[in-house]
């Protein structure tokens, strides 16, 4: 049984690639130590999701037409997801690990990442209550997820005592953030919702701090993870927060057990654990659970069996409803080298 494992190997999201591949290896090892999926051995066919969306989707479609894949899983940006669905949507089960932009349903597509209503909106409320963050600007990349998530956030701000001071969306791979920094300095904002991906977020974080804006503005990013914190450096992470269903610093029996298994299989030099890589592990294990529940890998029986699936996972209890997973969400504060969990902001 072959899974097209679509994860970024290059490009601005390539910083996530090593941990995605490592967590995929762990999931594969654990499946092989059991009965695979439906009693069949499992192979991950890595597809580089860091390329142009049309290239990625065309490779997935070619693999499917050649009979070389039975399912799709992995973490990649929503622009890639959109193209994959355009070419092969509904033809094979597809477990999308990345955080997503909200409520929609496509047969055979299962969204296991964080949603705006459980992740971003509670984080904005927490930061208002605990950090006094009330006047928000949005800085994001210019594609589906940042724009739609920003719309959710702006609507939420309008319904609270908070204010939206403006938004700017930048091309993927932006290197010159000077105009953005100048714009932020002219606003009255005291907080920035950062919706930049991978290396773009790292570069922005460095210049933001060098400009001294980290002393006057709180930063929050729903896609910030441990590799980016390390990439920014200890002097660039003040007053910066993230929210996710998993952090390396999250202390539960399940996370401790997961970390132990991860390092036993991959060694002490394995990539640092983070929410993005770990979500790929959950995607593969959820696909296996769906197949076992349906007794098939065909889309129709999996779709019929999906609603109401409950899985005890590293992230706690995962509940699948309308093809989306609900999960506990935590808020973390960035330190010099890590993200430290400070509160749970959504509880299943």
Sheet-wide strand order for 191-195: 163-170, 135-141, 191-195, 218-221, 240-244, 329-334, 339-346
As for how many domains the chain has, the answer is 2
User: Do residues 220 and 145 share a domain?
Assistant: yes
CA distance 186 to 193: 16
User: Do residues 210 and 125 share a domain?
Assistant: yes
CA distance 196 to 25: 27
User: Do residues 180 and 162 share a domain?
Assistant: yes
Decide if 178 contacts 209 (C-beta within 8 A): no
Residue 245: both structure tokens together: 């269903």
CA distance 109 to 323: 7
CA distance 122 to 128: 10
- DSSP state at residue 272: P
Q: Identify the three-state secondary structure at position 330.
A: strand
Which pLDDT tens digit goes with each residue over 245-301?
Answer: 999 999 999 999 999 999 999 999 999 999 999 999 999 999 999 999 999 999 999
Residue 59: both structure tokens together: 């490779």
Residue 148 backbone dihedrals phi, psi, to 5 degrees? -70, -35
Which pLDDT tens digit goes with each residue over 308-329?
Answer: 999 999 999 999 999 999 999 9
User: Is residue 34 classed exposed, middle or buried when 0-12, 13-18 and 19+ CB atoms within 10 A define those classes?
Assistant: exposed
Show the domain range for 97. 2-115+251-329
User: Do residues 60 and 192 share a domain?
Assistant: no
Residue 20: both structure tokens together: 């995605």
User: Do residues 19 and 75 share a domain?
Assistant: yes
Which pLDDT tens digit goes with each residue over 65-111?
Answer: 999 999 999 999 999 999 999 999 999 999 999 999 876 778 999 99
User: Do residues 238 and 261 share a domain?
Assistant: no
What is the pLDDT, as a whole number, of residue 105?
79
What is the pLDDT, as a whole number, of residue 103?
67
Query: Which of 139, 75, 86 lies closest to 113, judged by CA?
Result: 75
For residue 187, what is the domain's CATH number?
3.40.50.2300
Residue 348 has pLDDT above 90, yes or no: no
């Amino acid at each position: 049984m072959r899974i097209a494992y679509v994860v970024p190997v290059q490009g601005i999201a390539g910083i996530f690639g090593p941990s995605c591949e490592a967590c995929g290896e762990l999931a594969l090892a654990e499946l092989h130590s059991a009965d695979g999926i439906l009693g069949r051995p499992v192979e991950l066919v890595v597809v580089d999701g860091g390329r142009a969306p049309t290239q990625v989707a065309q490779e997935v479609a070619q693999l499917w037409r050649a009979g070389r894949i039975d399912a799709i899983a992995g973490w990649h940006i929503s622009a890639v997801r959109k193209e994959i669905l355009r070419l092969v949507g509904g033809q094979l089960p597809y477990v999308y690990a990345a955080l997503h932009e909200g409520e929609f349903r496509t047969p055979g597509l299962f969204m296991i990442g964080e949603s705006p209503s459980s992740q971003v909106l509670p984080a904005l409320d927490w930061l208002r209550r605990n950090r006094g963050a009330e006047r928000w600007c949005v800085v994001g990349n210019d594609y589906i997820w940042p724009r739609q998530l920003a719309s959710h956030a702006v609507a939420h701000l309008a319904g609270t005592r908070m204010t939206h001071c403006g938004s700017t969306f930048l091309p993927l791979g932006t290197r010159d953030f000077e105009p953005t920094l100048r714009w932020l300095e002219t606003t009255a904002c005291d907080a920035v919702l950062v919706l930049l991906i991978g290396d773009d977020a790292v570069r922005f974080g460095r210049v933001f701090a060098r400009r001294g804006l980290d002393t006057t503005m709180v930063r929050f990013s729903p896609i910030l993870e441990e590799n980016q914190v390390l990439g920014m450096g200890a002097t660039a992470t003040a007053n910066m927060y993230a929210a996710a269903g998993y952090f390396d610093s999250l202390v539960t029996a399940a996370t401790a057990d997961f970390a132990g298994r991860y390092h036993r299989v991959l060694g002490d030099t394995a990539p640092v654990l983070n929410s993005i890589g770990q979500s790929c592990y959950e995607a593969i294990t959820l696909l296996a659970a769906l197949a076992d529940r349906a007794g098939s890998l065909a889309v129709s029986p999996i779709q019929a069996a999906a609603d109401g699936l409950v899985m005890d996972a590293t992230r706690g209890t995962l509940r699948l409803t309308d093809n989306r997973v609900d999960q506990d969400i935590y808020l973390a504060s960035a330190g010099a080298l890590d993200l430290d969990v400070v509160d749970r902001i959504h509880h299943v």
